[in-house]
Structure 1
Amino acid sequence: MKKPIILFVASIFLLFNKVYAQDKFTLEQCVSYALEHNLNIKQAKYTQAISEVNYSQSKLNLAPTVNANISQYNNFGRSVNQVTYAYSNNTTNNLNYGAGANWEIFGGLQRLNQLKQTKFTLMADQTYVEKIKQDVSLNVVNQFLLTMFGEEQVNNLTNQLKVSQEQLAIAKKKADVGTITEADYLQFKAQVANDETNLTSAQNQLEIASLELKQLLNLEPQQTFGIIRPSDAAMVEASKSAYEAVYVYNEALKINPSIKVAEYQSLASERAVSVAKGAFYPSLNLSANVGSYYSWNYYLPVDPANPNGPDYRPTFKDQYNTFLGKSINLSLNIPIFNGLQSRNSVKKAKISYENTKASEVLAKNQLNKTIAQSVADLKAAEKKYASAQISFESLKKAYEFSQKRFDVGLINSLDLNIAKTNYSKAESEALQAKYDMVFKSKVIDYYLGKPLTL
């Protein structure tokens, strides 16, 4: 009875996976899925989790430490009897136990500064997670657009191959009746082979783009995967925006995770200098201890008035009360000379701080440069797209005109194939220009903190 139930559940599970695997994703769904499953994001979160533990520990380091101890001593031969404090040659068995607490009242404010340092480190790691998320989102947009380009390119080349095959069939009939020469027929045949090669190359590029997108989403390469294309008109229209590099940079400076990470790292390094300087100050510690022990060799007379009478071993409680000891200690440690370790630690901390400050400046300079380049690239992409569209429309009409001239015998097959090749190339370039412009506009949206949608 169990076997049919197991098979039924397994079939439902496989059916669910199959349906899920065949789902098509919008760009927004791809980004959302990647943010949840991408391995780079998970690794960044693991680093953040470690920083959270370090921050929690640095807060607990401000509290006193309390420890208990227990040990058993078996002494053989001449040794000090812990009960009588006299030397004897007897075997003694003693159980020592106790507890102690220690609290650093003042230590050059090192622990407070370590707490602030770990806090800034945690903030840096939290911001780094956001940076990885944004980077992954932008990469998903890029691969999504490449997949869209690949699908459109494959579709266009498939249609071109179909037209070439139809022309080849017509050319075969014309060659058989002598309307066109054998050379003209071979030109059409060569064009079909060239179109097949271009289509195979485009299909391979589409497969690579799809695999890259699956990898970003942490999907299996074998999983069936499709995308939902947005409207081309809306996508192109949303990409045409006027941006000034100064405005984009000033906005990005407020929110860009890379800059925030560099700033938090600088603050953490600054606190590291304070931690190192704390070693120059005296440290004041308060400690308290309590302890007792139990001895198997400790005997007392049953009758205190008759010391020579029978002896007995006091109970654990009695020995605890008898040997109980307590202490409170206040200690002051004043550093005088430790091989210049403290001074050199401060020097290294200051160098690290200056290095992080330089890294912060470099990050801002790099951001400024990258944004200026991105804005210039977008403007160039918009112009290139407009030119590519004009070129495509013109060469498309030129090819259609050449086809009509070929049909009436005014040009040969070579001229027709040249016109077709030029038209095909212009179509591909217009397609590339469109997606290049869309992606470059998304890069600007990335720096402005806008949602990466199409």
Structure 2
Amino acid sequence: MKKLLLFVFIVISASSGIAQQQEWTLQQCIQRALDENIQIRQAELDIEAANIDKSDAIGNFLPSLNANASVSRNTGLNFNPTSNLATTTQFLSASGGINTGYTLFDGLQNFNRAQRAKLSALSAQYGLEKLQDDIALVVANSYLQVILNKENLKVLKSQNEVTTQQLQQTQELVDGGVSPRGDLLEVQAQNATEIQNIVAAENAVQISLISLAQTLLIRDYKTFDIAEGDYAIYGEEMLLMSPQNIIESAKEERNEVKIAETNLEIAEEDVQIAKGAFWPTISAFFGYNTRYTNATSFRQDLDQNNPTSINEIGFVQATGQTVVAETPNFVTELVGADPFIDQLSQNDGVGYGLQINIPILNGFQVRNSVKRSKINAERAKINLEQTKLDLESNVYQAYLDAQGALKSYEAAQKAAESQELAYSYGKDRYEVGLINAFDFSQSKQRYDNAQIDLNRAKYDYIFKLKVLELYFGVPADQLKF
């Protein structure tokens, strides 16, 4: 019985351990998003499809090789495939062959298609990397939001502990007749408000956790949590650079520019492919085929016993004399089919040669195709210019946002320090009865709000720095928090 109870205890303990919350670090969350995000999985499929297109383009340089074979059973009047004579009988026939072809020249279209396929694969890779950066930034923002909500909750709980002590002290003072009952009511109202704020902060923590879990495609919300830690501020050296330096680095490192540049190269390859249709196409071909049938045939041979005969073939009208001639005598024999191996060599054939296709008039299709390709290339060029302009604007905005976030953070630090001093001073005055409970609760509330504003400014500043680092070219998996 003791062993059974011990076993049950171990099982329950193990189950409790499994059910404990798993604490995720920021890097684990980012890696999870990169591994499980649906958009990233779709982008990875786009890369696979682009690689298949690349393989198709390379395959165009190889000769084509095809084999064919057929077997049929014929009944009734049919043409013998070996003698090409009409025969009324039943026979089995088979045929087979092999054909190969190779394009010798096509206006370099195959070469340009191969180049285009390589660029398409590269563009798909850049698209995946850009999506990974975007997802990492979204996860980091959601993660920092959870941290902010947790820090705010800690502030509210910590200050409520002070209020609870204050409530107890005020109760004693009121009971002793030292303080008026109004002070007790004021502290009780303050405590009720703080409890409401704590409940709202707890809900904010849970909502932000669920939002982060949904981003990571985690279904078990109850056991999901993030790792606790004091997140320092890294990357402040970015603000020591000029925006132009960051812009130049962004133009070289950011994937949206690489995508636009690659798309321009793809459009230029499309122009070359379209121009290639003006050129003639030269191809070579070779084919081999053979046939077999088990059909019997009739053969006429000279009669060895009576090789010739004298037959009347006419008469001379003037004299009435009969004209005779000696003609050979033939006998018809039924002949069976030749052996299979023999027929393969007897009935085979070979065909080979060169073929040239010269475009002369095609309803302006080639010319218009070239014009459309040039228009698309011009659009890609404009899109590249617009992408660079947008990137420059975004970098400037991110730089100004980071500067503004730094100023807000510094101001929040000063405000928090001032409110802390004011709160400490008000607390001392309240304890000696120089101010009432209402004034003290107002001072305490201003201090709480200052702490919450400081948390918000800190994590907003951290996030703005991460955005700036990404623009500068720091990989998402190397961002420090």
Give TM-score scaled by structure 1 length. Answer: 0.88
Shift in CA distance, 15/222, structure 1 to aligned 2, threshold 3 Å: farther
Residues 82-114 of structure 1: CA deviation (Å, up to 9, x unaligned): 222234555554322111111111112111111
Contact 1:98 1:290 in 2 (8 A): yes
Partner amino acid for 1:386? E
1:362 deviation in Å? 1.4
1:326 deviation in Å? 0.7
Rounded to whole Å, the distance in 1 between the matches of 2:379 and 2:15 is 54
Report the identity percentage.
29
Partner amino acid for 1:419? S
Shift in CA distance, 20/69, structure 1 to aligned 2, threshold 3 Å: farther
Rounded to whole Å, the distance in 2 between the matches of 1:323 and 1:410 is 122
1:21 deviation in Å? 7.3
Partner amino acid for 2:256? S
For 1:4, the equivalent position in structure 2 comes to: none
Partner amino acid for 2:369? S
Contact 2:23 2:224 in 1 (8 A): yes
1:195 deviation in Å? 1.4
Partner amino acid for 1:279? A
What are the equivalent positions in structure 2 for 1:6-45 lying under 5 Å apart? Answer: 22-45=21-44
Contact 1:138 1:452 in 2 (8 A): no
Contact 1:103 1:287 in 2 (8 A): yes
Q: Which moved more, 1:369-378 or 1:162-171?
A: 162-171
For 1:376, the equivalent position in structure 2 comes to: 400
Q: Which moved more, 1:91-100 or 1:312-321?
A: 91-100
Q: Which moved more, 1:66-75 or 1:168-177?
A: 168-177
For 1:53, the equivalent position in structure 2 comes to: 52
For 1:324, the equivalent position in structure 2 comes to: 348
Q: Tell whether 2:69 aligns with 1:83.
A: no
Rounded to whole Å, the distance in 1 between the matches of 2:46 and 2:409 is 43
Q: Tell whether 2:374 aligns with 1:350.
A: yes
For 1:169, the equivalent position in structure 2 comes to: 168
Contact 1:153 1:428 in 2 (8 A): yes
Q: Which moved more, 1:197-206 or 1:385-394?
A: 197-206
Partner amino acid for 1:268? I
User: Which of these two proteins has the greater Rg computed from alpha carbons?
Assistant: 2
For 1:272, the equivalent position in structure 2 comes to: 270
Partner amino acid for 2:352? I
Rounded to whole Å, the distance in 2 between the matches of 1:18 and 1:239 is 43
Rounded to whole Å, the distance in 1 between the matches of 2:359 and 2:233 is 68
Number of aligned residues: 443
Contact 1:141 1:452 in 2 (8 A): no
Q: Which moved more, 1:196-205 or 1:169-178?
A: 169-178
Contact 2:274 2:369 in 1 (8 A): yes
For 2:432, the equivalent position in structure 1 comes to: 408
Rounded to whole Å, the distance in 2 between the matches of 1:128 and 1:21 is 38
Q: Which moved more, 1:308-317 or 1:122-131?
A: 308-317
For 2:453, the equivalent position in structure 1 comes to: 429
Contact 1:137 1:452 in 2 (8 A): no
Q: Tell whether 2:452 aligns with 1:453.
A: no
Shift in CA distance, 123/286, structure 1 to aligned 2, threshold 3 Å: same
Question: Unaligned stretches of 5+ in structure 2?
Answer: 1-6, 305-330
For 2:233, the equivalent position in structure 1 comes to: 235
1:290 deviation in Å? 0.8
Contact 2:235 2:469 in 1 (8 A): no
Q: Tell whether 2:109 aligns with 1:110.
A: yes
Q: Would you tell me which structure has more strand in proportion to its own residues?
A: 2
Rounded to whole Å, the distance in 2 between the matches of 1:27 and 1:444 is 18
What are the equivalent positions in structure 2 for 1:125-274 lying under 5 Å apart? Answer: 125-222=124-221, 224-229=223-228, 231-232=230-231, 234-235=232-233, 238=236, 241-274=239-272
Contact 1:236 1:434 in 2 (8 A): no
1:170 deviation in Å? 3.1
Give TM-score scaled by structure 2 length. Answer: 0.83
Residues 224-269 of structure 1: CA deviation (Å, up to 9, x unaligned): 344445545x436857842321010011111111111111111111
Question: Unaligned stretches of 5+ in structure 1?
Answer: 1-7
Rounded to whole Å, the distance in 1 between the matches of 2:19 and 2:301 is 88
Rounded to whole Å, the distance in 2 between the matches of 1:200 and 1:243 is 43
Q: SS of 1:248's equivalent? A: helix
Contact 1:243 1:375 in 2 (8 A): no
Rounded to whole Å, the distance in 2 between the matches of 1:58 and 1:231 is 53
Q: SS of 2:233's equivalent? A: helix
Q: Which moved more, 1:374-383 or 1:302-311?
A: 302-311
Q: SS of 1:409's equivalent? A: coil
For 1:336, the equivalent position in structure 2 comes to: 360
Contact 1:253 1:259 in 2 (8 A): yes
Residues 120-153 of structure 1: CA deviation (Å, up to 9, x unaligned): 1111111222212222222232223222222211
1:222 deviation in Å? 3.0
Q: Which moved more, 1:183-192 or 1:305-314?
A: 305-314
Rounded to whole Å, the distance in 1 between the matches of 2:332 and 2:19 is 92
Q: Which moved more, 1:308-317 or 1:332-341?
A: 308-317
Rounded to whole Å, the distance in 1 between the matches of 2:235 and 2:359 is 70
Rounded to whole Å, the distance in 2 between the matches of 1:103 and 1:17 is 69
Contact 1:302 1:311 in 2 (8 A): no
Rounded to whole Å, the distance in 2 between the matches of 1:276 and 1:347 is 9
1:345 deviation in Å? 1.9
Rounded to whole Å, the distance in 2 between the matches of 1:414 and 1:20 is 45
Rounded to whole Å, the distance in 1 between the matches of 2:93 and 2:302 is 24
Rounded to whole Å, the distance in 2 between the matches of 1:305 and 1:52 is 73
Shift in CA distance, 289/240, structure 1 to aligned 2, threshold 3 Å: closer
Q: Which moved more, 1:170-179 or 1:360-369?
A: 170-179
Contact 2:234 2:480 in 1 (8 A): no
Residues 418-454 of structure 1: CA deviation (Å, up to 9, x unaligned): 2122111111111111111111111111112222112
Shift in CA distance, 305/340, structure 1 to aligned 2, threshold 3 Å: farther
Shift in CA distance, 155/191, structure 1 to aligned 2, threshold 3 Å: same
For 1:64, the equivalent position in structure 2 comes to: 63
